[in-house]
């Protein structure tokens, strides 16, 4: 053990190491000598016999300790002399090596703490960061990846408006994003669009066919999928409508009021026009007339239209030529609610006692509000002026009955004051 410690002393590389070895060596020598004195009752040194003399044993221990210290001092002096001759590179030794040699002579717990502190100091070394003012090459600038600030998941498009050029410009056009985000997959579709390559060409196309800029927001809000239609398909559908003698102004008006019109293929548009012409026995001119006035007839389902035509013929008792006249005057009746249509007809025909031919002559009454029609008829009946037969005196036209505002109705038809009409409404 003494020989091993001496070797470690000779391997030391600095003053800190020498102090540690010296103190450890002193501790080890004292313990070893005390153990020897305790265990050996008789020892012969330099020809003298010593038996159980504690004072003499102590003196012997001190002599051996002095000899070993002298030996260590001579060895240390030789090592330091050799170290000085090696130059300045030997003096700048690593602190890590010093800590490693020092740890080997410490207790286990101290060694673990020393090693841990050594690792911590290495982990906390500052990392060289490039300066913000340092110039870089074009290749390095291109290779820099900037993380996207767009949130990966959100339930509303509002979180993306400030980050997406497409959404921000759509808002400026008047698009209602809160309506679009309620529809499945529409929000993600809009985020994937590029405004310059996807949106701008479609807007320019709409402008070229005559759609006003103020209608862009309405069209996209109701039909965002027009932004994904190819320009070739859009142009083909416009050309088809023009081939059917729809004027450019009419086509622009139809597209503005029926945003889904250009999403349907040419074959579907042709089938829809043929359906209305055959079912209503209309001429080509009349067919264009009703479609131009209500272009959503080409976009919606045909089932409600077929059902309303049967209701008018079977339940309401109108003839085919009467239905044709009603539809030409009020195309909206083709898509009207069935319950509302039958309720208004029942009140006009059975309560007001208006025959079919008068209803056919004033079909707008079928498109009026039921509550307004009922209040005004009952008020006229209360005054004794509910007379709708044109062959009798004090005739009141059904058209004027439902179309005039309250004040004009009271002064011209009922010959009463507006306050009287309001008081009567409270009695209903």
Q: What tens digit of pLDDT does each residue of 374-391 get? A: 999 999 999 999 999 999
The residue among 194, 199, 188, 274 whose CA lies nearest residue 229 is 199
Q: Rounded to 5 degrees, what are φ and ψ at 44?
A: -110, 120
Q: pLDDT for 341-361, tens place per residue?
A: 999 999 999 999 999 999 999
**Residue 15 reports pLDDT greater than 60:** no
Using 50, 70 and 90 to split pLDDT, how confident is the model at 331? very high
Per-residue pLDDT at 428 exceeds 60: yes
Give 49-108 pLDDT, tens digit per residue: 434 444 444 555 555 655 555 555 555 455 545 544 444 444 444 444 444 444 333 344
- Which tens digit of pLDDT belongs to each residue from 200-232? 999 999 999 999 999 999 999 999 999 999 999
d(CA 393, CA 107): 126
Is residue 30 pLDDT above 80, yes or no? no
Please report, for the chain, the start and end positions of each structural domain, with discontinuous segments joined by +. 154-228, 245-300, 301-363, 368-427
Q: Which of 336, 328, 396, 389 is nearest to 358 (CA)?
A: 389
Q: Burial of 170 by CB count in 10 Å (0-12 exposed, 13-18 middle, 19+ buried)?
A: buried
Q: What is the mean pLDDT of residues 282-297?
A: 94
The more confidently predicted of residues 121 and 170 is 170
Contact between 240 and 266 (Cβ < 8 Å): yes
- Do residues 292 and 250 make contact, with C-beta atoms less than 8 angstroms apart? yes
The predicted structure's pLDDT at residue 179 = 85
End-to-end CA distance of the chain: 119
- Among 119-133, 264-278, 349-363, where is mean pLDDT lowest? 119-133
Per-residue pLDDT, 132: 64
Mean pLDDT score of the chain: 77
- Residue with the bigger pLDDT between 234 and 17: it is 234
The runs of H, that is alpha helices, within 212-247 are 216-222, 231-243
Q: Tell me the HSE value of 96 on the side-chain side, using a 13 A CA sphere.
A: 6
Number of H helices, E strands in the chain: 24, 2
pTM comes to 0.60
Query: Nearest 10 degrees: CA dihedral of 380, 386, 392, 395?
Result: 50
């Amino acid at each position: 053990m003494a020989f091993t410690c001496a070797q470690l002393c000779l391997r030391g590389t600095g003053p800190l190491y020498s102090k540690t070895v010296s103190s450890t060596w002193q501790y080890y020598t004292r313990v070893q000598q005390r153990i020897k004195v305790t265990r050996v009752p008789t020892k012969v040194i330099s020809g003298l016999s010593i038996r159980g003399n504690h004072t003499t044993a102590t003196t012997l221990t001190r002599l051996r300790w002095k000899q070993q210290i002298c030996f260590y001092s001579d060895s240390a002096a030789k090592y330091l002399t050799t170290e000085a001759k090696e130059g300045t590179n030997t003096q700048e030794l690593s602190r890590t090596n010093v800590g490693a040699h020092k740890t080997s002579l410490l207790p286990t717990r101290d060694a673990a703490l020393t090693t841990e502190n050594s690792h911590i100091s290495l982990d906390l070394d500052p990392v060289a960061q490039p300066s913000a003012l340092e110039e870089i090459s074009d290749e390095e600038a291109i290779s820099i990846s900037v993380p996207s600030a767009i949130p990966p998941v959100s339930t509303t498009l509002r979180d993306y408006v400030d980050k997406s050029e497409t959404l921000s410009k759509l808002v400026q056009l008047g698009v209602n994003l809160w309506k679009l985000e309620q529809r499945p997959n529409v929000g993600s579709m809009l985020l994937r669009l590029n405004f310059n390559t996807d949106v701008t060409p479609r807007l320019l196309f709409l402008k070229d066919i005559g759609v006003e800029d103020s209608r862009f927001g309405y069209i996209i809000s109701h039909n965002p999928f027009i932004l994904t239609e190819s320009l070739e398909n859009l142009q083909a559908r416009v050309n088809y409508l023009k081939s059917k003698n729809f004027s450019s102004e009419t086509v622009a008006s139809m597209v503005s009021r029926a945003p889904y019109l250009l999403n349907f293929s040419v074959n579907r548009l042709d089938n829809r026009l043929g359906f209305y012409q055959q079912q209503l026995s209309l001429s080509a001119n009349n067919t264009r007339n009703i479609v131009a006035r209500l272009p959503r007839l080409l976009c919606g389902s045909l089932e409600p239209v077929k059902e309303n035509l049967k209701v008018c013929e079977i339940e309401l008792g109108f003839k085919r030529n009467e239905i044709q006249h009603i539809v030409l005057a009020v195309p909206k009746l083709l898509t009207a609610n069935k319950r509302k249509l039958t309720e208004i007809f029942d009140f006009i025909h059975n309560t007001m006692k208006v025959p079919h031919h008068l209803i056919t002559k004033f079909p707008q009454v079928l498109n009026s509000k039921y509550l307004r029609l009922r209040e005004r008829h009952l008020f006229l009946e209360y005054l004794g002026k509910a007379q709708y037969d044109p062959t009798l005196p004090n005739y009141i036209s059904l058209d004027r009955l439902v179309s005039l505002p309250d004040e004009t109705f009271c002064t011209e038809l009922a010959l009463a004051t507006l306050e009287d009409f309001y008081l009567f409404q409270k009695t209903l």
